[in-house]
Structure 1
Amino acid sequence: MHPFRQVDVFTDELTAGNPVAVVHDADDLSDAQMAALASWTNLSETTFLLRPTVPGADYRLRIFTPARELPFAGHPTLGSARAWLAAGGVPADVAGPVQECGVGLVRVRAGDQLAFAAPPLVRSGPVDPADLAVITAGLGTTDVVDAAWVDNGPGWVAVLLPDAASVLGLRPDLSALAARELTRAVGVVGPHPDGGDAAVEVRAFVPETGAGEDPVTGSLNAGLGMWLVEAGHAPPSYVAAQGTVLGRRGRVFVEHADGEVWVGGDTVVGVVGTVAL
């Protein structure tokens, strides 16, 4: 039996964000057991907390989708940090815990909200026009303002549309997106009119998870935060809305501070118990 928590991330109200299943004390579990549980929960990600293996880390995190293991993901990082702290974890740094994962060490800032320091992109820059044509065909739009690779592990390509209404109106062909091998993950973003509680609307399409669209996505918003600001498409700090089409109310807080991008939001522990592994 292992302690277990399910945490809703990027929301202050349970069921309005993106849930992650977190298994504590998972050092004795095999890769096959972890993959099987992730397939069974059928959430976008299931995570496993283990003892750290490198200096400076408070814990090690392994992150599984129903189909594969990820080197990094954003909402699992915040949800797992919340679970670790809720279980009595005490970080070595008073600022917050340090997570060891496939991309290295990721710092998490504790406070009223949790936030993670965005890891470096493993792929950036423009998207090949022929590849972009395939992606936009799958999305069902050619009204593209800009596009770029913003991959920090999961494989993100980002597409900027003229406005939030264009993002919300997309009805993509998920089978077409799943069939190609250009990238495993496509993020779409567009600006909201001034005066609302969010500056941009974001959608994330990851057909391999089974659901196709991810409700609220930390890794994508981390990559977007780097690209949009550097390209002049967004101010240094802003709020992104995500999950609207799915009936969620995700809010992601992106902040540029001291040369770093921080991605944060509220977290709610929804389930506490044990899992029989």
Structure 2
Amino acid sequence: MVSNRALQFTQVDVFGGAPLRGNPVAVVHGADGLDEQDMQLFAQWTNLSETTFLLQPTSPAADYRLRIFTPSRELPFAGHPTLGSAHAWLESGGTPQSQGRVVQECGAGLVPIERGERLAFEAPPLLRSGPVDESDLARIATALRIPRDRILDSQWVDNGPGWVAVVLADAHEVLALDPDHAGFGDLDVGVVGAWDPGDPDRPARVDVEVRAFIPGDGIGEDPVTGSLNASLGQWLAGTRLPTSYVAAQGTAIGRSGRVHVRRDGSTVWVGGATRTTLRGEAAI
């Protein structure tokens, strides 16, 4: 294990509708000399939902390689760490091979990231999709403390973290949830409900409300979740939801996440604000 090596460190707030109201990610630059144990221990120490490590790419098509860790495990892909790490890489002087686009290499493969009004990543292919077993749906309903018939639709939408998603009647039902986190067991569960356009409680320019429950990593409820919103867009954009919409997330825990989702043909793009909140050195 490497000891007390000083590396550039950035902490980025991602998807925030206002400063310090999104989801933070810790980014370690130039991490090629670290081993997996170093990375996992540092991610455990930061105690954020994800900590990432920027490395030299192994693919000639990529601008950088990224490893993503929760406090307890490595993920092949995660959304807010992707945008936050791209932001940190660009801010530190990274120059992409293609104008207007960054290409990230990670466990899920190559992930293109657009540089427009905001950074937006291309949703990666799902690792698992299709119907959810009735036994799992019964467990999810019990953990959400709602009757089973309040779940209107469901789907496996796993693009790395292991998501299963359910649709409720509206945003108010999503916000009213008071789940039993232990009841989810090993399931990472996303919940979505649409806002009625005429609802006086609807936040400005928001179309749906999303919540993400991740009991396995000790997180409980994730503030704002790019990977979940990406897979929800792949499942619902253009059917139950518009082809372009804004999702609010984190409302129930005091955040104001705003995730911009759009479908272009068969491709879904997921974007949001990225703001640096901390810069310095990490001694790992």
In the superposition, the TM-score normalised over structure 1's length comes to 0.96
Q: Is the Cα–Cα contact under 8 Å of residues 12 and 267 in structure 1 kept in the other structure? A: no
Matches within 5 A, 1:114-129: 114-129=119-134
Q: Does 1:153 align with 2:154?
A: no
1:173 to 171, 180, 192: 180
Matches within 5 A, 1:1-277: 1-11=6-16, 13-142=18-147, 143-177=150-184, 180-181=185-186, 183=187, 185-194=188-197, 196-229=204-237, 232-277=239-284
Q: CA deviation at 1:211?
A: 2.7
Q: CA deviation at 1:29?
A: 0.4
CA distance in 2, matches of 1:21, 1:187: 23
Q: CA deviation at 1:13?
A: 2.9
CA distance in 2, matches of 1:39, 1:208: 14
Residue type of the partner of 1:203?
A: R
CA distance in 1, matches of 2:58, 2:41: 24
Q: CA deviation at 1:200?
A: 0.5
Q: Is the Cα–Cα contact under 8 Å of residues 191 and 201 in structure 1 kept in the other structure? A: yes
Q: CA deviation at 1:12?
A: 5.0
Structure 1 vs Structure 2 CA RMSD? 1.0
CA distance in 1, matches of 2:108, 2:94: 22
Q: Is the Cα–Cα contact under 8 Å of residues 59 and 99 in structure 1 kept in the other structure? A: yes
Q: Is the Cα–Cα contact under 8 Å of residues 199 and 240 in structure 1 kept in the other structure? A: yes
Identical-residue share of aligned pairs (%): 60
What's the secondary structure of 1:35's corresponding residue? helix
CA distance in 1, matches of 2:18, 2:132: 37
Q: Is the Cα–Cα contact under 8 Å of residues 13 and 268 in structure 1 kept in the other structure? A: no
CA distance in 2, matches of 1:237, 1:55: 32
Unaligned runs of 5+ in 1: none
Q: Deviations over 1:94-143 (max 9, x none)?
A: 12210000010000001220000000101111101111111111111121
